[in-house]
Chains A and B, each alone.
Chain A
């Protein structure tokens, strides 16, 4: 509404409250954004304080309500298998499938249905994108003659009175080429539980035990099996057979694929999977009073299993079997000075509050705080990376809740007694977890799926951790609106129509620039696939080639589409561009927060300050010299940190020392993210990188 008319009207109509508030915020956007950003940071730092203790939400689980009956007899079964495996190993003459034959024989003796599962090893290469999909047609085309095979061994125990609709999966990964003692122990543990479950009468769900041949990686064997379980390809069987004949070992197998008169190559299934447990015996952790159980839960793209599953394992491990439960944390953070300082401040504040009112009990000790912060940082990092932390990630792709836990004994397990007591406790733990899951009538749905752990028994749910992100992202639309309105308000002369026309065209120019940069980012993000096709190229060379190609394409795009003419009213120009850029970043962050929240959160930490402070170097702020210098420094620092490769290299340098960091690391990380179908790759290249380029664009604005 034109201003003259407004004034002429006396008294003027009261505007609506919401409009008032909005206009108020927009007019104070600088202050608002500073306050919001600081509040967002504080909210993030407060996460360990705001964490709640975990509790078991699903009543049907009833962990620990039954006494474990896993006994010494089962332990002796395990020891027998471990002994047999080591003896087979010593005999030499490994044809590659001796261990598998041994395991399958034992499983058949228990009375289980057994089969071998052959799979191709999939090398982690760039392949056409398959984000958020597990389509079945992709595997058909693989017919490389040099692919090698792995051989999983699977046993199924049918629940005696069950209806066979659901199954619980146990996975023990082991390296079949050379079975180390801890691999043999995890196989022994797995087998003893399996044979124990073959005798119990309380099973309601079938039990699947997958002895995963992890000579080509733990993940690939499990994911190959899951793929065949859920998306079998009916017409590839002859293809496999044709290849098998090349392989000598598997030719042997073909002759002897009958066991007790049954064909052991037929794939068998056992209903919908209710949960999966991946367990292995890890390295020895000496100098610890208790055996350690490490839980890994993060699956691809920041998906987590239901919190109840972790809770059950934690509860049984700590309160029944006396393990110490560990969850990954960034060790370098625990001792960092600034974190401890923050911790002390919070501790002091907590004490003060407690003095004021004993009911205000939110203080935690600074050591706890540092520990919690390190854990939540690691949780956030692994979620943000979008790469599963173990073979449980393969299950999550099929909506099956799964976790990996690895046992780390405190002594070397050469001693028989140590070994058997360790297996006894591990077996009882797994028996208890299976019993709990077996009790479930419905699938896991009661507890949280969106959470971060701050300790094995503490978590931050989505309602709490999204406050920080919301506060960080809130200034973006406000600032965009204020910039847009600013440019509308200032620098217009001429008639009404011309103004409107001019204004809308300006906006379109800015949008065009943003779209052009987005287009470029898309090209740049797809380029690694083509570069990877070039044979014999080192990662450093690839990186340089990638950068060079990207810059060339950017230059070409500039030439073709033409950079928007820097018009007479330059001030308006960059402000509009910034407004449109911020709008597009807001959309990008919003979308990413739905796909992978942790990525969006970490991305927001980097991108929001950069977007907010950026302004052309040649346009000075009116004000004191300090303010100008501060703005300049901020701009430069933000632009350096905001560049994804620079941020990556800096992070690598700080965590591992700057000596070993080369430019090639950028390529390797990109390849890694691509190979794991991480949405973080898309975020970095479609949201973050264009934003950075636009910031540079604004920075260099004449």
Chain B
């Protein structure tokens, strides 16, 4: 538009410049007006932080940064806020969806929750997990995946490129939450997560960690936590452009100043904390480029119920606790279930604070409160059975939790579905036909329980084995267990990773429950739509949990062995070739003639020695006492040897005496 205006007035340079300037300015203004009127036709960035006290006296901090860009044909190739690297990635590899998570530590499903949206969405397995859905024909996907892993490995300074190998990733169709035939899934459980992965992740933010909420990310504090999960999520479509969600979930233990002996009252009291005490920094205003920036403190429904029992109400300044700063807004969950309190959100707008008036929100507890988190309906555990380097079994056990009853209205005659997705590397050769299912200690025919199953067996050095299985259990069961046998394979010596003696990992299995959903529902409010974090929480998602990573000890060669083998083989080869050449070179007929002519005067040293020994011992054998008789050449020899030895010994002795 600007260019057309400029072309219309070429006559005088002076006026055209002025005009251009004016028009450009007006364009900018115009765009802003459009943006404020709700039509998201511009790149946007929002930053949010959610803090939540956990029942075991830890604090969950969840940073959520969202960058969006409208479709590229409407905005061109230049980006103001959106990271160009990601946009190029999406374009080049035709990504429709992508999720990449770097996690250290394990999510504690028992005490941090498993069925609320926060834990359901953000709990990830240790190490790296990555999946992507491509907008490509099936044949081109693998190529694109390989390129993508390499590109991401470069961007995030990690060994994601190990996912390139076809032995490392699989193609689930329906085992995961997102179902698509053009999906690829891979996990690296051993990947260590450190600041070198965080720095490139921060580079994708428009303000880096120089301003806004990201400036709270004090490295020593966030890496000291019990759980650290850094995530990148990408949605791209022709209609809405690209949405990039970057989240960082950490579970921290606030410092407790214990004065004196802990009494029982102190022991149950939640620790007091503030942003300053956890991150060693205060919030000094928002990132200037952010459209919205807010901090939430969430009190989950268990805690809210306890508060209600105390009659504390939902004010920020009550019997049980004090918030150090007055919240800008209190959002209450709209709960349909009667008799249960709903979770409370306190919102703080960062825009009101600045360097001179920093925000340092915190909680001070006055009364000890005990509550339990919303657990998932089933606890999924996975473990190895058996010992030794030959074979073993993988077992997955599902144990209903107490919250199971809440999910199930009528616990009789109903059934629960569970979907298990598990990938095992090829050297763990799972025999899927040995699948056994036990419910309440009784073996159950597989056909009775399994509703749907798809197995792709592993192929040696080509592809991992993957299992997707939908099970249907009776609701009132007390325990369920699945067991599958496997054989341990052998690797070629150069396929062993460093530190091979540690064992080999089987990545976490994903267990999801399509009958159960997690979602928060807040009263419809226009402002809520502004917050991507709250929108995420309101989304209905099926419950899903990750099991433990398993460590399988495999037979490991002694890696110094190749050296031994080389020396041995060389010796054997030398002997072989030596004797072969000897045999080829010799002419036996000639030798015999030679022997005849030479009259066996010149005999080799060893035969001579041997004949001597032989003569001697034969003689000694004949004379039964053995030592008395002596032949003529022997004493000479013996005397010589003994004489030399004696001289050597004496010389040594005298030389050492000085």
Q: Are A160 and B551 in contact (CB under 8 A)?
A: no
Q: Quick one: which of A134, A163, A232, A443 contacts B395, CB cutoff 8 A? A: A232
On chain B, the residues within 8 Å of A570 by CB distance are: none
Q: Are A24 and B614 in contact (CB under 8 A)?
A: yes
One digit per residue, 1 when the CB lies within 8 angstroms of any chain A CB and 0 when it does not, for chain B 246-277 equals 00000000000000000000010000000000
- 18 additional A-B residue pairs with CB within 8 Å, beyond A160-B105, A163-B189, A442-B502: A109-B267, A134-B387, A160-B226, A163-B549, A165-B503, A165-B551, A230-B386, A235-B442, A236-B441, A262-B110, A268-B381, A355-B653, A356-B649, A356-B653, A356-B656, A399-B388, A441-B499, A443-B503
Q: Quick one: which of B126, B372, B440, B653 contacts A163, CB cutoff 8 A? A: B126
Q: Most chain-B Cβ atoms within 10 A of its Cβ — which of A17, A269, A398?
A: A269
On chain B, the residues within 8 Å of A491 by CB distance are: none
Q: Are B483 and A442 in contact (CB under 8 A)?
A: no
Q: Contacts A24-B614, A165-B549, A266-B399: A201 and B505 contacting too (C-beta < 8 A)?
A: no
Q: Which residues of B contact A (CB under 8 A)?
A: 56, 104-106, 108, 110, 126-127, 189-190, 224-226, 228, 267, 372, 381, 383-389, 395, 399, 402, 436, 438, 440-443, 479, 481, 483, 499-503, 505, 548-551, 553, 556, 592, 595-596, 600, 606-607, 610, 613-614, 617, 621, 624, 649, 652-653, 656
On chain A, the residues within 8 Å of B104 by CB distance are: 161
On chain A, the residues within 8 Å of B443 by CB distance are: 234-235
Q: Are B126 and A237 in contact (CB under 8 A)?
A: no
Q: Does A659 contact B (CB under 8 A)?
A: no
Q: Does A445 contact B (CB under 8 A)?
A: yes
Q: Are B501 and A442 in contact (CB under 8 A)?
A: yes
Would you mind naming 6 contact pairs between A and B with Cβ atoms under 8 Å apart?
A: A31-B617, A163-B127, A165-B505, A234-B436, A237-B440, A397-B387
Interfacial residues of chain A within 528-543, with CB under 8 A of chain B in the complex: none
Interchain CA distance A266-B389 in the complex, whole Å: 28
On chain A, the residues within 8 Å of B656 by CB distance are: 355-358
Q: Does A158 contact B (CB under 8 A)?
A: yes
On chain B, the residues within 8 Å of A269 by CB distance are: 381, 383
Q: Does A261 contact B (CB under 8 A)?
A: yes
Q: Quick one: which of A17, A158, A356, A358 contacts B606, CB cutoff 8 A? A: A17
Q: Are A234 and B481 in contact (CB under 8 A)?
A: yes
Output the nearest chain A residue to B603 by Cβ-Cβ distance: A14
Q: Does A562 contact B (CB under 8 A)?
A: no
Interchain CA distance A442-B224 in the complex, whole Å: 24
Q: Are B440 and A24 in contact (CB under 8 A)?
A: no
Output the nearest chain B residue to A239 by Cβ-Cβ distance: B441
Where chain B touches its partner, the secondary structure class is mixed
Interfacial residues of chain A within 554-572, with CB under 8 A of chain B in the complex: none
Q: Quick one: which of B106, B224, B442 contacts A158, CB cutoff 8 A? A: B106
On chain A, the residues within 8 Å of B190 by CB distance are: 163
Q: Does A20 contact B (CB under 8 A)?
A: yes
Q: Are A445 and B501 in contact (CB under 8 A)?
A: yes
What's the least CB distance linking B259 to chain A, in Å? 14
User: Which size class do A's interface residues fall under?
Assistant: 35 or more
Q: Quick one: which of A113, A232, A262, A443 contacts B385, CB cutoff 8 A? A: A232
Give me the 4 closest cross-chain CB pairs, A-B, nearest first. A442-B501, A165-B551, A237-B441, A234-B438
Q: Quick one: which of A11, A201, A272 contacts B224, CB cutoff 8 A? A: A201
On chain A, the residues within 8 Å of B127 by CB distance are: 163
On chain B, the residues within 8 Å of A399 by CB distance are: 387-389, 553
Interchain CA distance A399-B554 in the complex, whole Å: 12
Output the nearest chain B residue to A15 by Cβ-Cβ distance: B607
Q: Does A254 contact B (CB under 8 A)?
A: no
Interchain CA distance A262-B108 in the complex, whole Å: 14
What's the least CB distance linking B478 to chain A, in Å? 9
What's the least CB distance linking A495 to chain B, in Å? 31
One digit per residue, 1 when the CB lies within 8 angstroms of any chain B CB and 0 when it does not, for chain A 229-257 equals 01110111111000000000000000000
What's the least CB distance linking A111 to chain B, in Å? 7
Output the nearest chain B residue to A230 by Cβ-Cβ distance: B387
Output the nearest chain B residue to A238 by Cβ-Cβ distance: B441
Q: Are B621 and A28 in contact (CB under 8 A)?
A: yes
Q: Contacts A11-B596, A163-B549, A269-B381: A398 and B106 contacting too (C-beta < 8 A)?
A: no
Output the nearest chain A residue to B228 by Cβ-Cβ distance: A161
Q: Are A11 and B126 in contact (CB under 8 A)?
A: no
On chain A, the residues within 8 Å of B381 by CB distance are: 268-269
Interchain CA distance A28-B384 in the complex, whole Å: 58
On chain A, the residues within 8 Å of B395 by CB distance are: 232, 234
Interfacial residues of chain A within 160-185, with CB under 8 A of chain B in the complex: 160-166
Q: Quick one: which of B440, B442, B550, B652 contacts A165, CB cutoff 8 A? A: B550
What's the least CB distance linking B445 to chain A, in Å? 14
What's the least CB distance linking A496 to chain B, in Å? 28
Q: Are A238 and B440 in contact (CB under 8 A)?
A: yes
On chain B, the residues within 8 Å of A2 by CB distance are: none
Q: Does A623 contact B (CB under 8 A)?
A: yes
Interchain CA distance A617-B152 in the complex, whole Å: 87
Q: Are A28 and B617 in contact (CB under 8 A)?
A: yes
Q: Does A271 contact B (CB under 8 A)?
A: yes
What's the least CB distance linking B635 to chain A, in Å? 20
On chain A, the residues within 8 Å of B614 by CB distance are: 24
Q: Contacts A163-B189, A272-B551: A111 and B502 contacting too (C-beta < 8 A)?
A: no
What's the least CB distance linking A267 to chain B, in Å? 9
Output the nearest chain B residue to A397 by Cβ-Cβ distance: B387
Q: Are A235 and B438 in contact (CB under 8 A)?
A: yes
Interfacial residues of chain A within 125-179, with CB under 8 A of chain B in the complex: 134, 136, 158, 160-166
On chain B, the residues within 8 Å of A163 by CB distance are: 105-106, 126-127, 189-190, 549
What's the least CB distance linking B650 to chain A, in Å? 10
Interchain CA distance A279-B550 in the complex, whole Å: 28
One digit per residue, 1 when the CB lies within 8 angstroms of any chain B CB and 0 when it does not, for chain A 180-219 equals 0000000000000000000001000000000000000000
Interchain CA distance A358-B384 in the complex, whole Å: 57
Q: Are B551 and A442 in contact (CB under 8 A)?
A: no
Q: Are A398 and B387 in contact (CB under 8 A)?
A: yes
Q: Are B592 and A11 in contact (CB under 8 A)?
A: yes
What's the least CB distance linking A461 to chain B, in Å? 15
Q: Are A162 and B105 in contact (CB under 8 A)?
A: yes
Interchain CA distance A160-B225 in the complex, whole Å: 8
What's the least CB distance linking A60 to chain B, in Å? 9
On chain A, the residues within 8 Å of B386 by CB distance are: 136, 230-231
What's the least CB distance linking B33 to chain A, in Å? 49
What's the least CB distance linking A463 to chain B, in Å? 14
One digit per residue, 1 when the CB lies within 8 angstroms of any chain B CB and 0 when it does not, for chain A 393-413 equals 000011100000000000000
On chain B, the residues within 8 Å of A230 by CB distance are: 385-387
What's the least CB distance linking A471 to chain B, in Å? 20
On chain A, the residues within 8 Å of B126 by CB distance are: 163-164
Output the nearest chain B residue to A229 by Cβ-Cβ distance: B383
Q: Quick one: which of A113, A164, A355, A442 contacts B549, CB cutoff 8 A? A: A164
Interfacial residues of chain A within 324-373, with CB under 8 A of chain B in the complex: 355-358
Interchain CA distance A441-B497 in the complex, whole Å: 13
On chain A, the residues within 8 Å of B556 by CB distance are: 445
Q: Are B501 and A443 in contact (CB under 8 A)?
A: yes
Q: Contacts A356-B649, A399-B387, A623-B624: A442 and B499 contacting too (C-beta < 8 A)?
A: yes
On chain B, the residues within 8 Å of A235 by CB distance are: 438, 441-443
What's the least CB distance linking A356 to chain B, in Å? 5
One digit per residue, 1 when the CB lies within 8 angstroms of any chain B CB and 0 when it does not, for chain A 613-651 equals 000000000010000000000000000000000000000
Interchain CA distance A238-B656 in the complex, whole Å: 81
Interchain CA distance A474-B189 in the complex, whole Å: 52
On chain B, the residues within 8 Å of A441 by CB distance are: 499, 502
On chain A, the residues within 8 Å of B610 by CB distance are: 20, 24
Interchain CA distance A20-B656 in the complex, whole Å: 43
Interfacial residues of chain A within 6-22, with CB under 8 A of chain B in the complex: 11, 14, 17, 20
On chain B, the residues within 8 Å of A268 by CB distance are: 381
Q: Contacts A160-B226, A161-B226, A201-B224: A234 and B483 contacting too (C-beta < 8 A)?
A: yes
On chain A, the residues within 8 Å of B549 by CB distance are: 163-165
What's the least CB distance linking B349 to chain A, in Å? 34
Interchain CA distance A356-B650 in the complex, whole Å: 8
Interfacial residues of chain A within 267-284, with CB under 8 A of chain B in the complex: 268-269, 271-272
